[in-house]
Amino acid sequence: MNRTFAQLSGGEQMSAALSVRLALLKKLSTLNIAFFDEPTQNMDELRRINLAEQIRRVRGFDQLIVISHDDTFEQGLDSLIRLRKVDGETRQLTEDEGVAGDREQERVHAS
């Protein structure tokens, strides 16, 4: 069954758009790294979970980096770096300092 992009559900549109972006990145760039900056912004919880799962399944890049205030990405990572601005300077938090669900901290996820 052929459908236009507008006829796809929101989740299907998100998947299609992500696939197109990654294909273009792979074709047009010599970098083997993909960055996702706040990819779940303005999404409801179900869409955030679905997108995080799709990004976890991405193959063909040496490194995937997700920059997010959303803790949806914290499961199944190779690395998790938490940052916080303290007295105007950004610093990396230790594991003990990182508090799950703290919306003030910016999380940088890499796998």
Tokens of 45: 């919880």
0.85 surpassed by pTM: no
Q: Summarize pLDDT for 49-66 with one digit per residue, the tens.
A: 888 888 888 888 899 899
How far is Cα 20 from Cα 86, in angstroms, rounded to an integer? 38
Selection from 24, 22, 107 nearest residue 73 by Cα: 107
What are the sequence ranges of the domains in the chain?
5-110
Angle 51-74-19 from CA coordinates, rounded to 5°? 25
pLDDT on residue 105: 46
Q: Note the pLDDT of residue 76.
A: 76
Q: Give the integer Cα–Cα distance in Å for 82 and 70.
A: 12
Confidence of residue 100 (pLDDT cuts 50, 70, 90): very low
As its CATH architecture, domain 5-110 has 3-Layer(aba) Sandwich (3.40)
